[in-house]
Amino acid sequence: MPSVQTASQFKLLDMYRDLIALPSISSTEPSWDQSNEKVIRLLADWFSQLGFSVEVTELDGLPGKFNMVATRGEGDGGLLLAGHTDTVPYDEGRWTKDPFKLTEENGRLYGLGVIDMKGFFAFIVEALKDMDLSKLTKPIRILATADEETTMAGARAIASAMAIKPDYAVIGEPTGLVPVMMHKGHMSEGIRITGKSGHSSDPANGVNALEIMHQVMGRLLDLQRQLKENYGNQHFKVPQPTLNLGSLFGGDSPNRICACCELNFDMRPIPGVGPDELMGLLHHAIEPIKQQYPNALELFHLHEPIPPYGTDPNGELVLAAAEITGNPAEAVNYCTEAPFINLLGCQTIVLGPGHIAQAHQPDEYLDLSFVKPTIDIIQRLVGRFCLAQ
């Protein structure tokens, strides 16, 4: 059980220990998937003690999955500090430490979620506990979400409810304390071709799904080229929206006409060329084949698209974060909840302690050199956006 703490007694390592000790794995594999309720209740307790009003909401159709919004101060605007409460599953046998027991060793804190990203909430409490929040000129809100690692259902629910309207949002994913101002989105798509089987001795006596798929793949490679020629954002190392053929399944025997074939591929939209635009281009690309083989092609999402995200590179938040951290804002190639938080109408950055390379790995760790700068950055952001006169 987490130790009971009062506001004046909050200690970063104790809070960290309590968060890590409460498993909150989310997974599309039901045997791994867990409720995040205990983490949310713990956070609700901490932020209540700091004088926040706390709202905990169970997600529609997802029993055991909760979001929390904690607010201190009145009205709209102000700063939102956001993060997810779930973690990925862990590789059994590959951790050298207990993933649910905070271990301090060699200047590092080990545990599942130390950087990705339950630990960020401990930093928020640690940063706020010594600030005089009775003098807020703008509200400060804390958002803790469910299921970021799978469907982003928590962030999607916040975006569709539109119940909060911050001016600025900071998502504490592990960026090595470098502000992130844009990332690509992600789409996983499938195309299934249903033909008609027959004896291979007469290939015309059937409809060969592999032959149709061959045409589809040709069209997709044309689209891949068009995307590279016509679109790009130079902030990204790979500027264009990408399309990658990932896996192909089809047929069962050399002497049969192949009746069924399925291709899975991904696309990575960029700000300005989002999932809707890419789906439009995709439909356009395969339309002639659909005309030629009515009802043979089926296009479907393997999961709901994650939109790309970008915030104003010259906005107050990006500039303030660059000044406070000493690092210019950059674009990255992984996805976060930022596109959904951004829908609230706020300038949004991703900025948090730890390196992404250590996330989703056995022996996930936070280097303790991040502790002081992280607390300082949170305090200065709150000072700038919620306490300024």
148 part of the active site: yes
* Per-residue mark of binding to Zn ion, 157-196 (x: CB under 5 A): ----------------x-----------------------
E strands in 125-280: 140-145, 168-171, 180-183, 186-194, 242-250, 260-268
Contact status: 337 vs Zn ion (CB under 5 A): no
Considering the complex, state which of residue 54 and residue 117 has its C-beta at the smaller distance from Zn ion: 117
- 108 closest CA partner among 16, 207, 5: 16
Contact status: 351 vs Zn ion (CB under 5 A): no
Catalytic residue among 86, 116, 147, 363: 86
For the CB of residue 354, give the shortest distance to Zn ion in the complex, in Å: 10
Contact status: 152 vs Zn ion (CB under 5 A): no
Burial of 98: CB neighbours in 10 Å, binned 0-12, 13-18, 19+ = middle
86 part of the active site: yes
Residues in the interface with Zn ion (CB under 5 A) total 3
* Per-residue mark of binding to Zn ion, 106-135 (x: CB under 5 A): ----------xx------------------
Return the structure tokens found at 172: 């504490």
Residue nearest to Zn ion (CB): 116
For the CB of residue 144, give the shortest distance to Zn ion in the complex, in Å: 12
C-alpha 282/C-alpha 362 separation (Å) is 38
Considering the complex, state which of residue 112 and residue 127 has its C-beta at the smaller distance from Zn ion: 112
C-alpha 237/C-alpha 364 separation (Å) is 26
Q: How many CA atoms lie within 13 A of 46 on its CB side?
A: 30
- 148 closest CA partner among 306, 300, 301, 269: 306
Tokens 């991703």 found at: 350
Contact 198, 205 (CB under 8 A): yes
Contact status: 147 vs Zn ion (CB under 5 A): no
Contact status: 155 vs Zn ion (CB under 5 A): no
Instruction: State the residues that interact with Zn ion by CB under 5 A.
Output: 116-117, 173
Annotated catalytic residues are 86, 148
